[in-house]
Amino acid sequence: MKTDFDAIVVGAGPAGSSAAILLAQAGWSVALIEKQAFPRRKVCGECVAASNLPLLHALGIGPEFIARAGPELRQTAVMRGARTILADLPLAPDSRYAWGRALGREVLDTMLLERAHAVGAEVFQPWAVQKIDDASGLHRCTARKSGSNERVILEAPVVILAHGSWEPLPADREEQRLARSDSDLLAFKANFSGASLTPGLLPVLLFHGGYGGMVLAGDGLTTLACCVRADRLDALRRSAPGKPAGEVIEAMLKRECRGVEDALLGAMRQGTWMASGPLAPGIRLKSEETVFRIGNAAGEAHPIIGEGMSMALQSAWLLCEKLMQAGQTNAASVSTTWQRAVCNDYAAQWRKKFVPRMRLASTFAYVAMRPATSAALLIPLTRWPSLITLGAIWAGKVNCPASIASTDDRFHGAIDADTCDPGPAVRTLKADDDSAGHA
């Protein structure tokens, strides 16, 4: 078994698998570690904004994604009580990738993982990371195979953390358990067949103590997802003793959002309600780190604006761009100084590109979860529905922050800074015979 790599990626969601694909196609040796068996369902809104479709094409899964995803998302709506306010979603600059789509994570994540394996990444699945040690720039990652006592120690100068916020590394778990409170947001999701949600409509649901959304994804399934404050959930469960939390949530959504009740009339839930949490919106990038963070491991926005997938995919591209710009480095000469310099450069760009949308999401979530402020919000939106369209633009639905140029054709396409238009190819890091392939 190979144990020394140029890069180790922890987590095979959209962020981790994307990073593994990019680096493997650039000639790096990559280990991709994922503790869950695929395919697996995941609590997620499942929307992929138009700004990400060129990235998926450049990663090599674009045609398959388009073939399996739901209809083009051309309209959005704000639903609260009996009110539904419709607005157009903004058109992306590139007509080839004009509209977002939705696809279940059990399908999308498997696509990306299989692509990473196909381009040369070595996949460890299901394996769980036990600890990561740093010795003079060379990381040692201890992983254990799920369901056994088999362990392996992998080494690489570059370690990329791409695990979800609900699946922290062992060192972070105790801190996460101690941080619970009544204001925590718990996430719920279910899929329905036979729903009557208008194809291409992406509603945002506002209700007391939370927010949610619906979308028609692949295979004709409608996804209903929401986040609920812990204290509101406790109150709802006390009013319906003995009922599972998911059924209590479903009944509340139908009661407090007429649009949900109408869409699910005659629909049949497929499988059980899924739950996870608490959510932890905020920035997780740390100064002077020697490991790199992407996706939710780097930072998480309130999912009310549906930009989690965008931040996962685009942060992977941004980090890989920085690693490639830093140049080929022999593993023996990699130092913590080099790692921290690249990490600080990446973190500065990450904050510039993603913090504004995180602030927008926090503001919208604060307004949405309080009855008085959400009611007040509907007054200007009713008069000027175009404000919803403008909000979607501010949220990053059409503009992509990835900017990667290239002189090597091993990648499927480069990403133009303004339009995310696939171009010749992404900058690659050519293998150096004298460096044994280390980054």
12: tokens are 């095979």
Asked if the structure places residue 305 within a domain, the reply is yes
Amino acid at 120: G
CATH of the domain at 413: 3.50.50.60
Distance CA 164, CA 11 (A): 8
Neighbours of 80 (CB within 10 A): 24
8: tokens are 């180790």
Asked if the structure places residue 275 within a domain, the reply is no
Taking the alpha carbons at both ends of the chain, their separation in whole angstroms is 20
Asked if the structure places residue 16 within a domain, the reply is yes
Dihedral angle sign, alpha carbons of residues 319, 325, 327, 329:
negative
Longest dimension (CA), the chain: 69
Strands 185-193 and 222-229: antiparallel
Asked if the structure places residue 233 within a domain, the reply is no
> Phi and psi at residue 8, in whole multiples of 5°?
-115, 125
Asked if the structure places residue 249 within a domain, the reply is no
Contact 32, 160 (CB under 8 A): no
Q: What is the pTM of this model?
A: 0.88
Neighbours of 352 (CB within 10 A): 11
Report the number of distinct structural domains present in the chain: 1
Asked if the structure places residue 421 within a domain, the reply is yes
Asked if the structure places residue 387 within a domain, the reply is yes
| Residue-level pLDDT at 275 | 94
Distance CA 127, CA 163 (A): 13
Distance CA 133, CA 343 (A): 17
Distance CA 117, CA 114 (A): 5
Kindly report, residue by residue over 18-28, the tens digit of the pLDDT: 999 999 999 99
Neighbours of 348 (CB within 10 A): 12
DSSP secondary structure letters along 189-222? EEEEES--PPTTEEEEEEETTEEEEEEE-GGGPE
Contact 328, 30 (CB under 8 A): no
Neighbours of 133 (CB within 10 A): 11
402: tokens are 């990835």
| Residue-level pLDDT at 39 | 92
* Coil, helix or strand at residue 120: coil
Q: For residue 323, what are the domain limits?
A: 7-174+281-435
- Which residue in the block uniquely carries the two structure tokens 């045609």? 63
Kindly report, residue by residue over 112-141, the tens digit of the pLDDT: 999 999 999 999 999 999 999 887 778 999
Task: Please return the burial class of 104, using the count of CB atoms within 10 Å of its CB with bins 0-12, 13-18 and 19+.
Answer: buried
Closest C-alpha to 89, from 102, 103, 72: 72
Distance CA 132, CA 240 (A): 45
Contact 422, 428 (CB under 8 A): no
Distance CA 157, CA 97 (A): 36
Closest C-alpha to 280, from 300, 305, 298: 300
Strands 7-10 and 151-156: unpaired
Asked if the structure places residue 253 within a domain, the reply is no
Distance CA 56, CA 135 (A): 36
Under-70 pLDDT residues of the chain: 165-180, 327-333, 400-439
Per residue, what are the HEC states of 334-396? CCHHHHHHHHHHHHHHHHHHHHHHHHHHHHHHHHHCCHHHHHHHHHHHHHCCHHHHHHHHHCC
Contact 227, 361 (CB under 8 A): no
| Residue-level pLDDT at 261 | 97
302: tokens are 């309130």
6 sits in the region (left: phi over 0; alpha: psi -120 to 50; else beta) called alpha
Contact 306, 232 (CB under 8 A): no
| Residue-level pLDDT at 430 | 31
Distance CA 412, CA 425 (A): 6
**Helix H or strand E encompassing 283:** strand 282-283
Residues 6+ apart with CB under 8 A from 236: 228, 248, 249, 252
| Residue-level pLDDT at 425 | 31
| Residue-level pLDDT at 396 | 84
